[in-house]
Each structure stands twice: as C-alpha cells, then as structure tokens.
Amino acid sequence: MSDFIRQSRDFFVSIRLTVVLLIMSMILVFAATLAQVELGVWGVQQKYFHSFFVMQEIPHTGITVPAFPGGYLIGGLLLINLLAAHIYRFKLEWRKSGIQLTHAGLILLLVGELLTGLLAEESLMRIDEGQTKHYSESYRQYELALLDLTNPSYNEVVAIPETVLAETGTIQHPQLPFKVKIKDYFPNASLQRRSQAPGTPAARATAGIGPSIAVIPLPLNPKESEGNLPATFVELAGTEGSLGTWLVSPALGQPQTVVYQGHTWEITLRLRRYYQTHTVKLLNFTHEKYAGTDIPKNFASRIQLTTDNQSEDREVLIYMNNPLRYAGLTYYQAGFENNDRTSILQVVRNPNWILPYIACLMMGLGLLIQFGIHLVNFSRQRSAA
Amino acid sequence: MIMKKYFPFIVLLLGAAFVFNTLRVPEQPTGSFNLTGFGRLPVLVNGRIKPLDTVARTSLLAMQGRQRVSTPEISQAFVQSPIEWLADILFAPNKADTYPVFKIESSEVLDLVGLSAADTKIQYDSSAKRFMAVLGFLPSTKSRFSFNQLQPKLAEIERQAQLAESVEPAVRTPFQKQIAHLREVMVLYQRLKHSLQLPDSPSFLTEVTTFQNALPAGVAAVRARQKGEAHDEPAFKAMLEMARRYEIMEKFAYLLAIPPADNEPSLTAWSNTGQALLETFATGSVNPTVMAYATLGHTWRSGQPAQFNEIVQLYRTQLTKRFTVPLEKSDLETRFNAAEPFYSSMTLYAYAFLLAIFSWLKWPEALGRSAYYLVLIAFTLTTAGILTRMWLEGRPPVTNLYSSALFVGWGSVGLCLILEKIYRNAIGSVAAGMIGFATLLIAHHLSLTGDTLEMMRAVLDSNFWLATHVVVVTAGYAATFLAGFLAIIYVVRGLLTKSLDTVTADALTRMVYGIVCFATLFSLIGTVLGGIWADQSWGRFWGWDPKENGALIIVLWNAIILHCRWGGLVKQRGLMSLAIFGNIVTSWSWFGVNMLGVGLHSYGFMDSAFVWLVAFVSSQLVIIGLASLPLNLWRSFRTQNTAS
C-alpha cells in the first residue's frame, strides 16, 4: 500500500477527525443560531447548512470568501469518517453492537436530513372561511403564469418558474400560441409611478400598465418575514411579430390581459402554486383563548376535503398539534389573519419523513445497549471488589 | 465518640422536624379574622382558577420582589401575611395605599417620581441599627414606596412608561425597563383595588344595597323615558350614574371573582364584579357573590371577625356544589404556598453542602451520612412540591422556564443520590447541595415575574410531548450540569487541597464519565423526540430553531467528550475541563437562546439574566483555566509526587 493511501486511510478513519468535525459542527450551529437574529431561519439554512462553505463578505469590499466549512461539507466529511471507521474497524461483537447501532442510526439521520433538504417542499395555503382551494403557494418562489381565459369553466395555465425567468431568454411552449421572451428579471424591485419618480430610465414596457411604471431594482432581502417582490419584462411574439412588452410583477394590483387569435390570455407573476388532486374548503376557523386572557388556547380549522374523483368527501378538523396527513402532504395550522376569518395552513411534502424515526429508534436503542453494557460491567466490578 | 455515632440521626431528626414545622397549619386564634379561609377562596385570574392567597403572593412578588410588607425603619411588618395585605387593598384601600410595596431602585426613576434623598434615607429607631447602617451591614436607603408617595406623579409615570414601551423590550435602557415595570405593577395595584368594590365608595355594601333597593323604580324610569313618557328624573339619573360606576369596575377589575351562574355549563366562565353588577339591570337582583364580598369588605373595615368568618364559610359552602375539585386544588395550593417547600429545600441543600464539605476534613462517615440524610429530605420535599404543582396544573413537570429550573435541580440531585449511594464519599452530597441550592435560587428569581403556574400557549398544549420531549431534554440538561459540577469538585479539591487522592480522583473520573454517558443518552433522545414532535405537529422534523440548535449543541458536546475519551485524546484533567465546558454549553442552551428572541421557542423571554449568564460563563472559563495549570501547582498531586 502506498504511503499516500495509507495516510489518507488513517486520516479518514481517525477519531481525531471525528472530534474535530464535531467541534466544527458545534461552532457552525452556534454561529448560525446567532446569525438568525439578522438573517432569519431560512437565510441561515441557506448560508450555513445547505452549503459547502459559509461565504462571508470582507467588509467594505463586496468580495465574498469562504469563511468556514458549511453544513454539507462538515456533514459529508462526518459521513465519510463514520463509514470509513466502521468499515475499517468492523468486528461482529456483542460488545460493540450498541455503538455500531448508534452510528448506523446517525448515518441514517444525516442522509435523511440531506434528502429532506433536497426533496421536501413547504408551501402555504391561505384560505378564507367559505373559500375552496386546490393549490397551496410557495413561501418565496414566484412563477410567471399565462392563463387562457377563453373557456369559462376552466383555465389553461402555463407556468414558468423563477429559476427559468432568472436565466432570461426565449421560451416556446406547445400550449402557447406565441413565444415568450424574458427580457429582464429582477428578484426584488420596487415599483413607482413614473409621474412620481422623475429621472428614471425610459420605459421598456410597451403594453399594459408597464409604460407608466418605473422599476427600481433592490438587493435580495434574506429575511423570510420581510420577503421580496420580483419584477420581469416579458415580450410576447406571435407568428407575425411582437405583441408588445409587458412589465409583470406581483406588486401590480390589476391582472393584465392580451388577446391573440381569438383567445384572451392573462399574464401574471405570482407565488409559485402547487396544485393538488383534491380541494380544501375552509368551513370555519376558531381561535380559543383562556378565560379572561389573551393567551391562545387553540387554533382550529374545520375543512371539507374533497378529491377530484369524488372518492373522498369528508370534514376534517386541523388544530394545533394535530395536522392532517393526506396524499403525502401534511397540512398543519400555522397561523391566521384577517380578524380570525382567514386561516393559514402550512403544507409540507416530505417523502422521506420516516427516516428520522428509524434513525432515532436505532440511536436510542444503540446508546441504551452500550451504556447498559457499561453499567452491568461496572456493577460486576463493584460487587467483585 | 457517642456524639459522632448519633450525629447523623440527630441531623435527620432536626431536618425532619424543620420540614414538619413548615407543613403545620397554624392555629386560628379565637375571635380573629379567618384569613386562611379567606385566602383559600377561589378566583379566576390569567385563565386559571386559583386561591386569593396565590394572587396576594404573586402580586407582591411582582411589585416588590418579596412577600413581606415592611420597612426597615419599623421592626414590625405592616401586615402579618400576604393575604392580609390583599384584604386591605381589596377592602380598605386607604390603608393599603400607605404600605410601601413598590420597589424602585433606579435613582433616575426615584428622581422622576419626586423622591429625594430625604425621602429615601432610612431613619433607624435604634442606635445599634444606625451604627450597623454606617458600617454598611444594614441598608441606608429605602427602595420600597407606597402608593400615596407615588400618587402625585402618576401622570408623569404614565407618560414616561408610554415612551419606554414604544421601544422594543430587548433594547430598552435600565431606566426604560424600570419605568415600564413600575407602570405595569401600578396598573395591577389599581386593578386589584377595583376588583371587589370601588375604592372611592365610602361603604360599598351601602352602595350596592341602595342600588338593589332603587332598582325597580330606576328601571321603570328608564323604560318610561325610552317610550317618551313622563318619568322620575332623579331615579333615571341615579341609574345612569350607577351604570357609569359599574362600567369602570367592569373595565378595571383584575379578579374574575364571580363564579358562573348555575345554568352556565362552562366552569371557567367567571366574570368580574363590574360585569356582574351590570347584569343586575337585566336580572333585577344583585349577584349574591357580589353581595357576599361587599359584606366581607364591610366586616373587615369595621372589625367584625365573627361575621367575616361566617360569610367566608357560607360562600364556600355555596361553592362546593359545583366547584369541588377547584376548591380542593385551592386548599392545597394555599397550604403549598404557606409551606414554601422549595424555600425549605434550599435551606436544607445549603446545610447538606456544608456538612458534606466538612466531612472531607473531619468525621467523614458521620458528617457524610448526615449530609446524605439532609439531601434525601430536601429531595423528598422538592419531589412533593413538584408533584403538587403537577396536580394543580394537570400537566407534566416542565411547562415553563421556572419549572425547568426546578426539574433540572431535581434530576441532578436524584443522580447525586445514586452516586452517593454507590460511592459514599460525600461527593454526591456536595454536588447535590450545590446544584440543588443554585437551581432553586434561579427558580426563585424566575418566579418574580408572577404566577409560575401559567396556562400553556396553543403550540405547546400537548401533555404527551411535554411529558416526553421536554422532560427527557431537561433531564439531559440536569446530567450535563452534574458532570460539570463534579468536574469542578475535582479541580477545586485537587488544586487547593491535599484531599484528592488517587482513589477519589479515579472515583470522580468514573462518576463524570458515567454521568456524561447518561447526559448523552438523555439529550440525544430528548432532542430527537423534539424533532418527532415537530414532525407530528407541523410536518417538519428539524427547523434549525435556536432552541433546537441549543439542544443539538449539548448532544454534540457530550459526543465530543465521549469520543475524546474513547480516542484517548484526554486523560483525567482533560475530561474534567471538557465537562466544565459542558456547563457553558448547557447554560447557553437553557437561557442564552431565550435572550435572542427569535424562533418558535422564544416564549420564555428573558431580560436582565444576561449579566448573570456572562458571569457564569466567565467563572467556568476561569475554572477551566485553573484546571490546565501545571501539575506541580496542584496541592494534591504535588504531595503525592513528593511522597513517592
């Protein structure tokens, strides 16, 4: 075996590496906790945990450099360290079974967390009493939606996600009779009436309300609570040439429409929607308080759950600590607004939700076995002494 | 040597007698007011049915940080018990307004409310006390003031408090904090005064009786006027005036003292005196409970204990029909308040600590056993206290920061008892005394914000998860702290005394290692259970919430200690330093994250404890620094080296 291979093997199986990585993860978690005051939970997750390096700007220069290993790097190295050490030193022994089980559980937990980071989708359903919805909305991702309003009983929708908008360029979709050309995209922008914002560059929009509006790009706001409002310039082009350029943004109140080949199309930039094969109707929302106080006792949404094929049509009560799990989704009571008339449900799709449960069981059992063995040995020694 | 033999039993008896004495119900002298019975009467405050006695104690703690109403100038207290103070504020507010119950320490606030040095200087009545004050053994300035002293500046206090409250609590200056707090407790005080009668009424009983008698004519006058017919104008005006007065009461009364009517299905639909009086316009007769309290007030002011006691008894009998369980709870809570089991335990832990320390110097067997007995008594007492709280609240042991302090202490002391049972070297008792005392002291300071039996916010309203996740995680905190304190004992004994021989050092090492294993198990399982709660309740196993991160850091740190040990990276002293650092990690997770004020878990908002946290962390760093001093500076090891 060459020296290099032996050295790297010794490096990856060493318990020193384990300790160093554990200390680094502790520092990372601690720093991330402090940073939450500034960045909010979502920002921190992106910067510290769902990254290979924590990038930090050198003050006053605008240059960002990797300041510390991120969650993926430390977690990945821990995983390699763990696997390597166990493969290298593996022995089938009763005495070691506890430790092995614990570590196997830990591997599963790390893998599970990685999968959750990659696969889980969280969205919100904001629903008024009496309203029926069959979609939930993303917290922060937007999409450009083109709706064919011609048929009064349903709308055809073509949605272009934010990531595609950010790349700009031309999109040709089989359901669209025209090409969609994304001329520019701002992830966060403020809109002002041209009359109130003199001196801004000439309008790029030629149709809709756009020509009278000035767009001022803003830096991305990392805090989830404060949010961003994107804006985009979109040119539609039919076979006989451009139909015009629209300014589209969720900050614009009125929907904008265009008529082409006898079809009316609506064009909007809205929070990304997740459509389900069932509908949720909010029958009523209750907000209980303890007698004589403002301390909330319970929030509950009574909903009607109806599947599109009518195979299910029932009432469900969603309340604190009691979510609805249906069709791979978890609906839970996240909030309320509008004087207790609007309920906010969080909708989570997490296909590997079972992994942490198995991991926990393995780790708990493993530690119990391990420390149980210690304890038995200890009391044997003492009774012998 | 007979003394030495029987000493532990004497200590055991003394300890038991001490506890017994706190549980004894004091006898009621004949011909005096039955204040105990009055204190047991239930009212609904902050969503919970509780005895008036609790209202009295928690209000005094919030206003002035202690339950005794007194001034250093007069050795006699103004009232004999908190409930007597409450009776005065409810029924004889003019008297209560002279008691010094508002604690003001900031000189800026004192200045603002117009209290000069002459007002705050203490005029001791004996020359011995004056001498002690000069030496600094007694305070020389007063910090508690009466309502009458503050009254001229009420408007200014209100204005300043409003200015202060426009600032976020976390970034308020000490002055802003104090003035906002002063206003808050003054509002509480005023609301208490409006709870059972109107403070400006010369005799509320007369007023209510007059109201009752005038009601038929008054209602007739109102109806006639509404129809535009001829009516009795003075009777109409009188009704209007009554309605105005009771609306004030309805708005301000703090206590929901009037139990729901017999036809009301909900047992928590209590109302306040003002609401009940306004309902009189519909029912035609004054609510009997309003009447009962008005009569109690009358008999209290006019000094008629026999009548007072009879009404207390009658009202109570009336309540037993529907409120059997709440009354049982109120009775027990009043006994619990009077016995102050956590305060007694604190005293016992302090003595146990001292005895155990001395056992290392002299009489190891006798003193060690005595300390063990005291710890055992204190542990039993705290267990009983925690169980009582659980029954009163109908909840698992840990529901807020206060109860977590109780439980961390309880868990650590429980582990110490096991260690002491195994090793019999008084180390367990020293640690138990230290941690038991410290956690109860922390709990005492956390109790100053008001009633510690709070209602659970909707998110946390799940007994199953409170009983599993919260209890297990808190047990993990307890074990991590215990490992840290055992390590401190190792460092202090080894460095400063010659008493850390090889046997003791090895025993301590095994103890710390064992407790770290326990801590790893509990903090890991507890953290993971928290994840499962999160997944069950909101579909997300892990959210990187600060409190979750805090728990994770404890798990990581315990894992680091174990891996360092297994990998041979640390020996005895290294293990001890790591365990002491565990104290820092745990205190951060327990209190530090609450100071950040972000995330789902920040319900236990904390304020000024930050200074204490910094002080604690620094002290632990100093001890770690001491632990890394070279071996020849350690008295225990130096002696051994020279000996060998």
Residue at A364: amino acid letter: G
Range among A55-59, A67-71, A94-98 rated most confident: A67-71
Cβ atoms B309, B32 nearer than 8 A: no
Measured between beta carbons, the chain B residues lying within 8 angstroms of A320 are: 458-459, 461-462, 537
Of A16, A18, A37, the CB nearest to B596: A37
Interface test with A, best of B256, B480, B512, B556 (most A CBs within 10 A): B556
A331 CA: distance to closest CA in chain B (Å): 8
Same domain, A166 and A293: no
Compute CA distances A228 → A171, A270, B600, whole Å: 25, 12, 23
Q: A interface mutation test: which of B540, B558, B562, B600 has the most A CBs within 10 A?
A: B540
Name the domain count of chain A: 3
Closest chain A C-alpha to B324 CA, distance in angstroms: 19
Q: Is the confidence at residue A368, as pLDDT, over 80?
A: yes
pLDDT tens sequence across A194-253:
777 777 777 788 888 888 888 888 887 766 556 788 888 888 888 888 888 888 888 887
Q: Taking CB atoms and an 8 Å limit, are B524 and A29 in contact across chains?
A: no
Mean pLDDT to the nearest integer, B461-485: 89
Given a cut of 70, whether residue B227 has pLDDT beyond it is yes
> Higher pLDDT residue, B601 or B517?
B517
Instruction: Give domain status of residue B53, yes or no.
Output: yes
Pairwise CB contact (< 8 Å): B598 & A36: yes
B603 plus B620 within the same structural domain? yes
Name the minimum distance, in Å, from the CA of B363 to any CA of chain A.
Answer: 24
DSSP strand E in B394-449: where? none
Choose the closest CB to B540 out of A40, A325, A348: A348
Strand partners, A54: A68
> Does residue B441 share a domain with residue B376?
yes
* Cβ neighbours of B543 in A, within 8 Å: 41
Q: What is the pLDDT of residues B370-381, one digit of tens each?
A: 999 999 999 999
Instruction: Answer positive or negative: Cα dihedral of B187, B192, B195, B196.
Output: negative
Q: How far is B273 from chain A (nearest CA, A)?
A: 13
Number of structural domains in chain B = 3
pLDDT for B19-44, tens place per residue? Answer: 998 888 777 777 899 999 999 999 99
Average pLDDT over residues A145-162: 83
Percent of chain A with pLDDT over 90: 17
Per-residue pLDDT, B606:
46
Q: How many Cβ pairs closer than 8 A exist between chain A and B?
A: 167
Closest CA–CA distance from residue B589 to any residue of chain A (Å): 10
Say if the Cβ atoms of B47 and A291 lie within 8 Å.
yes
Question: Judging by beta carbons within 10 Å of its beta carbon (0-12, 13-18, 19+), is residue B161 exposed, middle or buried?
Answer: buried
Question: Cα angle vertex B411, ends B57, A356, to 5°?
Answer: 115
Cα nearest neighbour of B548 on chain A: A33
Other residues' Cβ atoms within 10 Å of the Cβ of residue B568: 8
**Out of B132-136, B186-190, B261-265, least confident range:** B132-136
> Which residues on chain B are in Cβ contact (under 8 Å) with A353?
535, 539, 541
Distance to chain B for A365, nearest Cα, Å: 10
B644 and B622 in a single domain? The answer is: yes
Query: Is residue A160 located within the same domain as residue A249?
Result: yes
Is 50 exceeded by the pLDDT of residue B290? yes
Does residue A16 sit at the B interface (CB-CB below 8 Å)? yes
Instruction: Quote the pLDDT of residue B584.
Output: 95
How many Å separate Cα B105 from the centre of its chain? 21
A108 in contact with B, Cβ within 8 Å: no
> Across the interface, which of A22, A32, A120 has its CB nearest the CB of B556?
A22
The model's pLDDT over A175-201, given as tens digits with 9 standing for 90+, comes to: 888 888 888 888 888 888 877 777 777
Q: Which of B459, B549, B569 sits opposite A33 (nearest CB)?
A: B549
**What is the predicted ipTM?**
0.83
* Statement to judge: residues B207 and B153 lie in one domain: yes
Same-domain check for residues B530 and B616: yes
The answer to the question of residue B435 being in a domain is: yes
> Is any Cβ of chain B less than 8 angstroms from the Cβ of A25?
yes
B319 and B178, same structural domain?
yes
Is A326 an 8 Å CB contact of chain B?
A: no
Same domain, A8 and A104: yes
**CA-based nearest residue in chain A for residue B560:** A19
- Mean pLDDT check: name the lowest of A82-91, A278-287, B129-138, B238-247: B129-138
Q: Can you give the length of chain B in residues?
A: 644
Smallest Cβ–Cβ distance between B256 and the set A292, A320, A322 belongs to A292
Tell me, yes or no, whether B441 and B507 share the same domain: no
Same domain, B543 and B414: no
* Beta strands A263-289 and A296-307, pairing class: antiparallel
pLDDT, average across residues B53-66 = 93
With respect to residue B507, please indicate whether it lies within any of the assigned structural domains.
yes
| Min Cα separation A8/chain B (Å) | 18
Mean pLDDT score of chain A: 85
Per the rule left: phi > 0, alpha: psi between -120 and 50, beta: everything else, B457 is beta
**What domain range includes position A311?**
123-131+276-349
Confidence of residue B597 (pLDDT cuts 50, 70, 90): low
A69 and A127 housed in the same domain: no
The pLDDT of B157-172, averaged and rounded, is 83
Instruction: Choose the closest CB to B544 out of A41, A364, A382.
Output: A41
The distance from CA A138 to its chain's CA centroid, rounded to whole angstroms, is: 8
> C-alpha B136: how far from its chain's center?
29
* A71: closest chain B residue by CA: B544
A309/A270 same-domain check: no
Rounded Cα distance, A112 and A355, in Å: 6
The whole-angstrom distance between B110's CA and the closest CA on chain A is: 32
Distance CA B517, CA B513 (A): 6
Q: Are residues A163 and A93 in the same domain?
A: no
> Does A261 lie in the same domain as A150?
yes
- Which of A120, A296, A374 is nearest residue B458 as measured by Cβ atoms? A296
**Contact assignment for A291 to B524 by CB distance below 8 Å:** no
**C-alpha distance across the termini of chain B, in Å:** 34
Question: Is the torsion defined by CA of A376, A377, A378, A380 positive or negative?
Answer: positive
Residues of chain B contacting residue A363, judged by C-beta atoms under 8 Å apart? 524-525, 528
Element (H, E) at A30: helix A15-44
Same domain assignment for residues A12 and A60: yes
| A158 and A256 together in one domain | yes
Global confidence as pTM: 0.85
Same domain, yes or no: A144 and A228: yes
One domain, residues A30 and A102? yes
Asked if B528's CB is within 8 angstroms of A356's CB, the reply is: yes
Q: How far is it, in rounded angstroms, from Cα B442 to Cα A175?
A: 68
Residues B48 and B4 reside in one and the same domain: no
The per-residue pLDDT for range A356-366, each reduced to its tens digit, is 889 888 988 99
Which H or E run includes A255?
none
Tell me: do A218 and A97 sit in the same domain: no
Asked if residue B190 is part of any domain, the answer here is yes
Contact assessment for residue B606 and residue B401, using Cβ atoms and an 8 Å cutoff: yes
- Residue B1 within a domain: yes
- Å between B430 CA and nearest CA of chain A: 23
For A46, the closest chain B residue by CA position comes to: B544
Q: Chain A residue closest to B546 (CA)?
A: A33
Q: State residue A226's pLDDT score.
A: 60
Q: Does A139 contact chain B (CB < 8 Å)?
A: no
Minimum distance, in Å, between the CA of residue A298 and any CA atom of chain B? 5
User: What own/partner pairs with CB < 8 Å and gap ≥ 24 does B105-110 have?
Assistant: B105/B143, B105/B178, B106/B174, B106/B175, B106/B178, B108/B175, B108/B178, B109/B175, B109/B178, B109/B179, B109/B182
The domain of B355 spans 1-30+340-448
Q: Is A350 on the interface with B (CB under 8 A)?
A: yes
B538 and A364 within 8 Å at the Cβ level: the answer is no
Residue of B487 and B165 predicted with greater confidence? B487
Residues B190 and B108 both lie in one domain: yes
C-alpha torsion sign, points A91, A95, A98, A103: negative
Q: Can you tell me the distance from the alpha carbon of A189 to that of A220, in angstroms, rounded to the nearest whole number?
A: 9
Same domain, B442 and B558: no
- Cα–Cα distances in angstroms (integers) from residue B417 to residues A43, A363, B123, B427, in the given order: 46, 28, 49, 10
Q: How far is A121 from chain B (nearest CA, A)?
A: 10
List the structure tokens of B440.
């109860």
Looking at the structure, do residues B283 and B151 belong to the same domain, yes or no?
yes
Interface touch A297/B455, C-beta < 8 Å: yes
CB contact under 8 A, B531 and A299: no
Choose the closest CB to B528 out of A290, A325, A363.
A363
Average pLDDT over residues B194-217: 91
For B129, the token pair is 């006390």
What does the alpha-carbon distance between residue B318 and residue B330 come to, in Å, rounded to a whole number?
15
